């Protein structure tokens, strides 16, 4: 023995390292309010301290693995002797006689090979570990390292995997079940082999009773308890798979494969309640569109086992449907169906089911291992799809739609179950905090499980009229006013680079003649947008719009820019709208707020460009002082170097960079005023349902109704909704941003702004309100009955009043409208 020790001792590792060992822990992603979104990593693990471990579990573990743990010095001499005697008598190694300390030595340092050399090394290591660590520290290492099946490493991960709870929430039977897993975690866990797992659990309970760790009554209750374990995937408190994937990619770029194992905790900017609202709003909107366009009547069938086929498989081809329906082996069939439904990914508002029987007033369906009633009233919408503009007749009876064994989707409503289907149409929601670009909610499609393409950040689509506010902003910054008159009349463009002559039209196909700029925006008149862009100049407009957050490479420097023909992502459009919502400042969207290591140390903290009105005021004050008295310049610079630096609106601890202004505050106010009219009286009127006075936005519909948009905001939240097909195709002749995307926006914003007080957009200095003539945009005449109020920059107020119609002159001429219209 001494010779073996002398031979192996130099090769033994330093057991002091165990005190600082880092267990492989998965990457976890959280919302801003600390709710788990997702975790990534091959090994699911949540380390616990000894003090956090329930004493009942410690007892169960010791009873099953090493009841003399607190008495021995690392090895169990009796156990080893028993193993040696068994080996000599049978020639086989039936038990290793390993203590928990020896298993720690093996798990942390050694391979799983079964050789005498490894066993001796394990024994020597166990002795060294006992000298270096306390019994509690050794147990702590064991319970966090041990593999317990289903990718679960450690007892806390096992509790989550098999019961969906913390180890601290489990009862005695459940604790004994986990304590019995180390012997055969893959072959005898309660998911893979419930019968064997039950036997092992009851063995653990019996050992606890023998050792008087539990009473006879506790043993009886626990031993009779049914198996309640089932597989629980990664526990998610907030369904946000597109967000989780965005974070995963970012973390892999930062840290490589270590991102999955080092135990990083990533806290995002996501507001969990807003994310839940966005999920529901988008799915509800897509499902409604899908119902409105008919039922595609999918006919996928679940496997049905008949009694005849079970006994004579060769009869399968000869049995009719009626034969099979009357002789179904229901226990075996339902077991198959249950497994089939459990394997289906979570689809949010709709859930899978299988038809059991079809009756005249509805159908019984199989779902969640039970029978449920689907009434015929929940199927009446399912008129057959003919094409995007036509649907067929209403079904007359349930059998027109359903048959036994058919796999279907159903939606839970307040009126009972509703037949559903996976929509072919797609969409996205992006919701940003305008003061700094923090992503509050994001949904990249109907279901991440069915399609992982993130339309919110990956889909370049034409925004149509939802882009017009940026064209109008450029116009207001270059001499136009909300009262400027532009002729909404036919226009033809001929270009050698175009195959055909371009004749743009309004969506309505009508022309409205001379129109005020404000009115043209809320009516979404295309020809007015083209004329004002031609007047401003496409290149000049691009230069103005790019700082809002649009990649210059995506902006067409031609007149098609006026109609939103430059494809952008929903995220890019929402970023541009942040400028409109926050007072005219450019911000960058961001998702990760901070990254922590497994010990809670902050490795990264976001410092986004943030709107700071106080900074701007103080900067303006500095500029005025510098112009007024040059001798104050040095003093001001010295102040900037100190803690009272006026260029920093944040506290010294925060030190957030100020967002740059890209839109003059007066131009911004005029634009907001016009966009609020889109909601009050234009294409965005559905938003009035929210009963708020601080909402503004713009609808968008592209050619042939291939894309439907609504981008809108309050001072606290910007949200963009896009709906369309992945392969661009018409949504139908009646689909527009106002009736397809806007209802989704209203649904979401109603929840997202619940409890958020209204915040008016403040009128800056240098803006005045005057009465004008609605036909000409000139100052109203005294006493004019149809005059309206309009906002102007002080220097842009019309200088002349309108000249009202007068009686004919003696020469037959008229003095009507002597001031010419502004026609562009």
Residues with catalytic roles: 65, 465
By the 10 Å C-beta count (0-12 exposed, 13-18 middle, 19+ buried), 55 is classed as exposed
What are the Cα distances from residue 397, in Å, to 138, 374, 672, 764?
68, 13, 53, 64
Q: Compute the chain's Rg from CA coordinates.
A: 36
Question: With contact defined as beta carbons under 8 Å apart, do 690 and 746 qualify?
Answer: yes
- From the CB of residue 585, how many other CB atoms can be counted at a distance below 10 Å? 25
Write the CB contacts of 250 (distance below 8 Å, at least 6 apart in sequence). 591, 592
Rounded Cα distance between 769 and 668, Å, is 15
Nearest of 523, 427, 22 to residue 263 by alpha carbon: 22
Read out DSSP for 279-303? HHHHHHHHHHHHHHT-B-----B--
- From the CB of residue 215, how many other CB atoms can be counted at a distance below 10 Å? 11
Tokens, residue 437: 């670009």
Write the CB contacts of 107 (distance below 8 Å, at least 6 apart in sequence). 142, 145, 146
What phi, psi does 417 have (nearest 5°)? -75, 145
Tokens, residue 794: 């002080």
- The helix/strand count (H/E) of the chain reads as 25, 21
Rounded Cα distance between 379 and 363, Å, is 10
Q: Which helix (H) or strand (E) holds 363?
A: strand 362-367
Rounded Cα distance between 580 and 584, Å, is 6
Give the distance between the most distant pair of CA atoms in the chain: 137
Rounded Cα distance between 187 and 215, Å, is 30
- Give 767's strand partners: 793
Nearest of 726, 741, 732, 707 to residue 388 by alpha carbon: 732
Rounded Cα distance between 752 and 718, Å, is 11
- From the CB of residue 322, how many other CB atoms can be counted at a distance below 10 Å? 8
The single-letter DSSP state of residue 493 is: B
What phi, psi does 454 have (nearest 5°)? -95, 95
Rounded Cα distance between 550 and 194, Å, is 57
Nearest of 386, 305, 580, 606 to residue 469 by alpha carbon: 580
């Amino acid at each position: 023995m001494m010779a073996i020790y002398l031979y192996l001792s130099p090769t033994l590792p330093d057991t002091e390292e165990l005190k600082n060992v880092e267990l492989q822990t998965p990457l976890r992603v959280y919302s801003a309010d600390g709710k788990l979104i997702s975790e990534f990593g091959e090994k699911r693990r949540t380390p616990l301290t000894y003090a956090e471990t329930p004493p009942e579990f410690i007892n169960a573990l010791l009873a099953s693995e090493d009841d003399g743990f607190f008495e021995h010095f690392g090895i169990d001499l009796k156990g080893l002797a028993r193993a040696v005697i068994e080996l000599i008598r049978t020639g086989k190694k039936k038990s290793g006689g390993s203590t928990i300390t020896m298993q720690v030595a093996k798990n942390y340092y050694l391979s799983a090979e079964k050789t005498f050399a490894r066993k001796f090394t394990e024994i020597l290591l166990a002795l060294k570990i006992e000298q270096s660590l306390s019994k509690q520290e050794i147990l702590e290492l064991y319970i966090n390292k041990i593999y317990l099946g289903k990718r679960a490493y450690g007892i806390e991960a096992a509790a989550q995997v098999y019961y969906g709870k913390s180890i601290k929430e489990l009862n005695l039977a459940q604790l004994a079940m986990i304590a019995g897993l180390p012997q055969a975690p893959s072959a005898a866990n309660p998911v893979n082999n419930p019968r064997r797992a039950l036997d092992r659990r009851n063995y653990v309970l019996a050992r606890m009773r023998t050792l008087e760790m539990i009473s006879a009554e506790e043993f009886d209750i626990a031993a009779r308890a049914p198996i309640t374990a089932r597989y629980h995937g990664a526990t998610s408190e907030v369904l946000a798979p597109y967000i989780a994937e965005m974070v995963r990619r970012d973390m892999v770029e930062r840290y490589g494969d270590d991102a999955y194992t080092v135990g990083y905790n990533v806290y995002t900017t996501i507001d969990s309640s807003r994310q839940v609202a966005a999920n529901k709003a988008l799915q509800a909107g897509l499902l409604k569109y899908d119902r409105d366009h008919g039922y595609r009547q999918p006919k996928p069938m679940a496997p049905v086992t008949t009694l005849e086929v079970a006994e004579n498989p060769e009869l399968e081809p000869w049995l009719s449907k009626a034969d099979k329906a009357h002789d179904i082996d229901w226990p075996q069939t339902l077991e198959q169906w249950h497994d089939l439904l459990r394997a289906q990914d979570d689809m949010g508002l709709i859930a899978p089911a299988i038809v059991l029987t079809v009756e005249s007033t509805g159908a019984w369906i199989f779902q969640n291992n039970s029978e449920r009633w689907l009434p015929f009233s929940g199927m009446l919408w399912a008129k057959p799809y003919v094409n995007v503009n036509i649907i067929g007749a209403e079904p007359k009876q349930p059998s027109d739609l359903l048959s036994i064994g058919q796999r279907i989707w159903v939606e839970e409503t307040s009126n009972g179950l509703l037949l559903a289907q996976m929509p072919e149409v797609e969409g996205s929601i992006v919701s940003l905090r305008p003061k700094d670009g923090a992503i509050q909610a994001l949904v990249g499609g109907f279901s991440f499980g069915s399609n992982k393409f993130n339309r919110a950040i990956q889909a370049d689509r034409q925004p149509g009229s939802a882009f017009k506010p940026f064209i109008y902003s450029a116009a207001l910054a270059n001499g136009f006013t909300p009262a400027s008159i532009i002729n909404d009349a036919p226009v033809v463009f001929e270009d050698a680079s175009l195959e055909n002559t371009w004749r743009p039209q309004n969506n309505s196909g009508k022309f409205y003649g001379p129109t005020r700029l404000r009115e043209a925006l809320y009516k979404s008149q295309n020809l007015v947008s083209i004329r004002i862009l031609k007047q401003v100049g496409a290149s000049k407009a691009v230069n103005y719009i790019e700082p809002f957050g649009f990649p210059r490479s995506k902006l067409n420097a031609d007149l098609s820019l006026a109609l939103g023909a430059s494809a952008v992502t929903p995220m890019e459009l929402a970023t541009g709208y942040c400028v409109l919502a926050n007072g005219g400042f450019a911000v960058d969207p961001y998702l990760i707020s901070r990254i922590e290591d497994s010990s809670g140390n902050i490795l990264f903290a976001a410092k986004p460009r943030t709107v700071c009105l106080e900074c701007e005021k103080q900067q303006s004050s500095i500029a005025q002082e510098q112009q007024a008295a040059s001798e104050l310049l040095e003093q001001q610079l010295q102040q900037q170097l100190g803690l009272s630096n006026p260029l920093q609106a944040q506290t010294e601890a925060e030190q957030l960079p100020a967002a740059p202004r890209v839109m003059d505050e007066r131009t911004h106010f005029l634009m907001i005023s016009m966009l609020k009219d889109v909601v009050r009286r234009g294409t965005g009127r559905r938003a009035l349902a929210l009963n708020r006075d601080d909402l503004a936005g713009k609808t968008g519909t592209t050619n042939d109704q291939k894309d439907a948009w609504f981008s809108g905001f309050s001072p606290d939240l910007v949200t963009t909704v896009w709906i369309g097909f992945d392969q661009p195709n018409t949504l139908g002749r009646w689909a527009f941003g106002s009736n397809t995307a806007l209802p989704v926006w209203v649904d979401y914003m109603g929840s997202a702004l619940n409890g958020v007080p209204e915040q008016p957009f403040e009128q800056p200095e240098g803006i005045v309100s005057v009465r004008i003539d609605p036909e000409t945009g000139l100052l109203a005449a005294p006493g004019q009955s149809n005059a309206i109020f309009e906002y102007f920059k002080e220097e842009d107020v019309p200088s002349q009043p309108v000249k009202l119609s007068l009686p004919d002159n003696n020469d037959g001429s008229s003095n009507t409208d002597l001031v010419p219209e502004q026609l562009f």
